[in-house]
Structure 1
Amino acid sequence: MANSNELPVTGLVSMVKNEADIIADWLAHVTDLFDHIVIADHNSTDGTFEYLKAVESKIPERLKIVRYIEPEYDQARLMNFLAEGLLAREAGISWITSLDADEFLTFGSRDEFVRFLKRLQGRKAFTLLWKNCAPLLPNKGNPRTDSWFIPPQFAGHGKVFWSRQLFLKGTFVMGQGNHFLEYPKGKRTPSSPKAEGHLYHLPLRTQDQFRLKICQGIIGYWKQGRRRNNAHGAHWFELFRKLADSHLSKSDLNRIALQYGETDSSETAGMTDESLLATGYVVQKLPSTMKGVRCEDALPTPMWSEMTAECLRTIARSGIVDQEKARTLSQEWNLEQSDDLVGNSLRANHLHYTTLSSTGNRAGVSSADEIRKELMQCATWDIETLVPTSWGEHIPFMLAVVSILRPRVFVELGTHHGASFFAVCQALKRREIGGQAIAVDTWSGDSQAGFYDNSVLERFEHLLEQRYKGIGRYLKMYFDEAAEKFDEGSIDLLHIDGLHTYEAVSHDFKTWKDKVSPGGVILFHDINVYTKDFGVWRLWKELKKQYQTFEFLHCHGLGILFMPGAADGSPAQRLAAYLSNETEGDILRHFFASVGELSLQRKLLSFENQDLKQSLKSGRGNAQSVGAATPMAEQPEVLRLHHELQLVYNSTSWRVTAPLRWLKRRLTGSS
């Protein structure tokens, strides 16, 4: 901004989550004011992300949408990272800031905003302080169409606008919320730049929206683990305590909104509508411009009830509130209980599983040679559905054991992303076994796996719908609740992979073992993990003395337990006999330890290979559209893609997977 005639160029970074009620107006606001915008969506499940992408497609040169998939709410680090990247990419940006989706600048037009910034030419930073606003009418909090109580005074918090020079200098960093100039690693007290005006802050638009906001805030804060900062998280718990009172009056709601972020006061007498008007508050619609880019055909629909219910379950599971309190709040807040819905064909809530007959079409392998061939042949199948997992190296064995046992009913306790569950579905589908697979989980996490939001279940449900509909179903509930849906002897193959403490896994085994049919099989993961409070190894040591078992020690360990009562000649009886051969067992342990690792490498390489081939194809298409004037050999993008593709083929990982590809060709006849 050395030349006073130059127009200031502005940049904005932001982080949003489930803002269906406000995202369209807010995005129309910031796209009218800011030149370059980067928004990170934090696992929204209400259509916010899809709306952002729809608008991005209209102005891709100005708007960039990214998906932030980490579970914790690490806003400060992410905003600093995105701001640094935006400034590096857009050299002309002179001012940059971070706003939330409930913050609106006061300017009615872009010209007004530009004139304001030109007046501050030469400044290193400034602050726009909050004016906390409350909707005039309860549950009528649309920023564009509804009226708001606007206070005469500023709040103590606001948003910092950074000059390019100050941000890149690195003396300060954006703190949580971008309220102050903070020193790296908290070396000194944060600094507050001079206030040059205000902005409108709309924290409470409807009571349902605010409940979801606070519940999400608690979960995001809790997931930071040891990095939690009580100074940043205390307000979430205080607001949750207030919301736990289901009889909030209009004055209570005014107080929560208008004093948001301020020192708590329990006084509500001065917060009635009449009192507010008498003390200088004005009622008006926001003057802020909202004339930017919209995409009316992609507007998301708020799903407050179901999403808040999911958050309450996660909060209860983490121990922040007890489960009985969570159930009480769920009833008082009139939340929709998604577990009670039976219209979703993927959910098995309305089903009951009865005792399986001792007969049935479970014919399979009939000799040791056939078992060996089936084990090795199935192990070379391509992994059809690979999701984030610590279980992945056991997928080849899961494919093989399902093909051999041909289970009529498979149940998994603890599914998370679904790696092992999808392997079972793949084998049931490929072998046309006709069995059913049922996943049981709360999809909220635990103290060992970490806690997460509903986006994990959304992705699991999407993959199940797309690839294994009619084969796989799920029960979103606690294991003990799900046990009531299964009679004794109603499960052929059970996988126990929930909480891994000794007490928890012992309880799961005792609760579910009688649900397994005579001669059925139970799998235990993490039998070879001895750290922290993991105790599966201890239970497994006890069970090995009582049952016929087999174990793999790679990939945290996998135990296979054969329940007594298998019929002579049944697949389970033949497999148990085969694995009891010490020599064959040792061979299989080495084989599946190697194949498990190689299968994952091959799947990951196939992803990279497909991406490179697609990019190469796209590069050729773009080159052809330019015309024959530019020879193919002189096009640097095509050459780069060719080079990267050859690196894959020449890589160590590609070479070490060659034996697996050869073995697959020998066993399946495929090329």
Structure 2
Amino acid sequence: MIHTSETRNTVSSTPISITSAASFAKPVHLVPSAWHEHAPFAAWIVEAVAPDLVVELGTHNGFSYFQFCESIARSGLDTRAIAVDTWVGDDHAGFYGEDVYESVKRINDADYARFSTLFRGTFDEALSAVDDGSVDLLHIDGRHGYADVRHDFDSWRPKLSARSVVLFHDIAEYDNGFAVWQLWEELTEEFPGFGFRHGHGLGVLVTGAEPSHAVRTFLEDAAIQPELVRSIYEGLGARVEHDYEDSLRVIEATRRIAQLEGEVHAGRAEVIGLQQQLADLRGSTSWKVTKPLRAARSLGRSDG
């Protein structure tokens, strides 16, 4: 059983607005993900909730999880974090090899092992490892069929604390069997929440009866000016996606330079080899013996 600290994190007496300095921080680990555009909000929500325990259901390459972890580390919170995944993939995310888990583990071990645990198993298997009423921030990003995401929420609901917030990715995806939007519409009839439309959509559901002051203030501000809040985070998220695309261009340019350098090196080696062959031929006995013949041919050409 994973237990949280007896000393609960508390939010500063100074309210956190809808953004903070963390919202503008560049992600440390820009790995492939459909979650890039929500990195600024992930950084903010960790500060706003000040969770004792963060749980992510569905981690894949780890981008969203590392954003939570980076915000925990940067804020100096006494927070535990757990990532739950089989790391084999599914029919929505696609199936992948062991290298994905190894990459996530390598980053986690190097930067976040002090407070972060990778639970390799199903979401249901992880239930027994977490105390009821202990999860302050839950991110659900597993299979996206209605029955799947409904089961994930219902089974983990007893684990949620009195100040809990649940994040749902892909609430703006409507094709290919995605139905998180349907559950989102149902849950917002029961709980207060706010939905972002960019980056495939992110639902922010306040499930706890005693949310932090910062979370309550966010909901109040978002209710007054929802499009302003959405546009702010859409703009911040676009910067992260742009940074990721730039990093891909740097990687490709580096690969191409290495390829060209290899080709140049190979060409130089070929030239040296040909020069050596020519020198060997000129120094050979047959070259010396045929020298008079070559001279006669040269003379004949000039006479013609």
Residue identity in the other structure for 1:588: V
Looking at structure 1, the residues matched to 172 and 107 of structure 2 have their Cα atoms a distance apart, in angstroms, of 30
Please state how far the C-alpha of 1:486 moved relative to its aligned partner: 1.2
1:235-257 Cα distance to aligned partner (Å, 9 max, x none)? xxxxxxxxxxxxxxxxxxxxxxx
Residue 27 of structure 2 corresponds to residue 353 of structure 1? no
Q: Which residue of the other structure, out of 473, 478, 481, is the alignment partner of 2:122?
A: 478
Aligned partner of 2:217 in structure 1 is: 577
Structure 1 contact 519–573 (Cα < 8 Å) conserved: no
Q: Which runs of 5+ in 1 are unaligned?
A: 1-351, 620-671
Looking at structure 2, the residues matched to 472 and 543 of structure 1 have their Cα atoms a distance apart, in angstroms, of 29
Q: Which runs of 5+ in 2 are unaligned?
A: 262-304
Aligned partner of 1:371 in structure 2 is: 17
1:213-244 Cα distance to aligned partner (Å, 9 max, x none)? xxxxxxxxxxxxxxxxxxxxxxxxxxxxxxxx
SS where residue 517 of structure 1 aligns? strand
Please state how far the C-alpha of 1:441 moved relative to its aligned partner: 0.5
Looking at structure 2, the residues matched to 607 and 530 of structure 1 have their Cα atoms a distance apart, in angstroms, of 28
Larger RCO, structure (CA 8 Å, separation 6 or more)? 2
Q: Which residue of the other structure, out of 145, 148, 161, is the alignment partner of 1:504?
A: 148
Looking at structure 1, the residues matched to 20 and 63 of structure 2 have their Cα atoms a distance apart, in angstroms, of 20
1:146-172 Cα distance to aligned partner (Å, 9 max, x none)? xxxxxxxxxxxxxxxxxxxxxxxxxxx
Please state how far the C-alpha of 1:580 moved relative to its aligned partner: 2.4
Please state how far the C-alpha of 1:585 moved relative to its aligned partner: 3.3
CA spacing shift, 1:612–1:482, aligned 2, 3 Å: same
Structure 1 contact 380–599 (Cα < 8 Å) conserved: no
Q: Which residue of the other structure, out of 516, 522, 534, is the alignment partner of 2:166?
A: 522
CA spacing shift, 1:400–1:355, aligned 2, 3 Å: closer
Structure 1 contact 412–438 (Cα < 8 Å) conserved: yes
Looking at structure 2, the residues matched to 365 and 588 of structure 1 have their Cα atoms a distance apart, in angstroms, of 23
Structure 2 contact 160–208 (Cα < 8 Å) conserved: no
Residue identity in the other structure for 1:353: I
1:161-217 Cα distance to aligned partner (Å, 9 max, x none)? xxxxxxxxxxxxxxxxxxxxxxxxxxxxxxxxxxxxxxxxxxxxxxxxxxxxxxxxx
Aligned partner of 1:589 in structure 2 is: 230
Looking at structure 1, the residues matched to 13 and 215 of structure 2 have their Cα atoms a distance apart, in angstroms, of 9
Looking at structure 2, the residues matched to 361 and 523 of structure 1 have their Cα atoms a distance apart, in angstroms, of 20
Aligned partner of 1:467 in structure 2 is: 111
The structure with the greater share of residues assigned to helix is 2
Looking at structure 2, the residues matched to 413 and 365 of structure 1 have their Cα atoms a distance apart, in angstroms, of 31
Residue identity in the other structure for 1:587: L
Residue identity in the other structure for 2:204: I
Residue identity in the other structure for 2:229: L
Aligned partner of 1:413 in structure 2 is: 57
Structure 2 contact 4–52 (Cα < 8 Å) conserved: no
Please state how far the C-alpha of 1:447 moved relative to its aligned partner: 1.3
TM-score (norm 2): 0.78
Structure 2 contact 82–117 (Cα < 8 Å) conserved: yes
Structure 1 contact 412–421 (Cα < 8 Å) conserved: yes
Structure 1 contact 410–438 (Cα < 8 Å) conserved: yes
Aligned partner of 1:555 in structure 2 is: 199
Looking at structure 1, the residues matched to 128 and 161 of structure 2 have their Cα atoms a distance apart, in angstroms, of 16
CA spacing shift, 1:355–1:384, aligned 2, 3 Å: closer
Residue identity in the other structure for 2:14: S
Please state how far the C-alpha of 1:466 moved relative to its aligned partner: 2.0
Looking at structure 2, the residues matched to 433 and 376 of structure 1 have their Cα atoms a distance apart, in angstroms, of 16
Residue 101 of structure 2 corresponds to residue 457 of structure 1? yes
Looking at structure 2, the residues matched to 423 and 583 of structure 1 have their Cα atoms a distance apart, in angstroms, of 28
Please state how far the C-alpha of 1:376 moved relative to its aligned partner: 4.1
Deviating above 6 A after TM superposition, structure 1's stretches of 4 or more consecutive aligned residues are 610-613
TM-score (norm 1): 0.36
Structure 1 contact 444–453 (Cα < 8 Å) conserved: yes
Please state how far the C-alpha of 1:356 moved relative to its aligned partner: 6.9
CA spacing shift, 1:539–1:610, aligned 2, 3 Å: closer
1:88-145 Cα distance to aligned partner (Å, 9 max, x none)? xxxxxxxxxxxxxxxxxxxxxxxxxxxxxxxxxxxxxxxxxxxxxxxxxxxxxxxxxx
Looking at structure 1, the residues matched to 208 and 101 of structure 2 have their Cα atoms a distance apart, in angstroms, of 35
Structure 1 contact 502–535 (Cα < 8 Å) conserved: yes
- The number of aligned residues is 257
Structure 1 contact 415–497 (Cα < 8 Å) conserved: yes
Looking at structure 2, the residues matched to 387 and 402 of structure 1 have their Cα atoms a distance apart, in angstroms, of 20
Q: Which residue of the other structure, out of 174, 190, 201, is the alignment partner of 1:546?
A: 190
Q: Which residue of the other structure, out of 376, 397, 400, is the alignment partner of 2:44?
A: 400
Aligned partner of 2:301 in structure 1 is: none
Please state how far the C-alpha of 1:403 moved relative to its aligned partner: 1.9
SS where residue 129 of structure 2 aligns? coil
Residue identity in the other structure for 2:184: W
Say what the alpha-carbon RMSD is for the aligned residues: 2.4
1:334-369 Cα distance to aligned partner (Å, 9 max, x none)? xxxxxxxxxxxxxxxxxx124776x723132533xx
Residue identity in the other structure for 2:242: Q
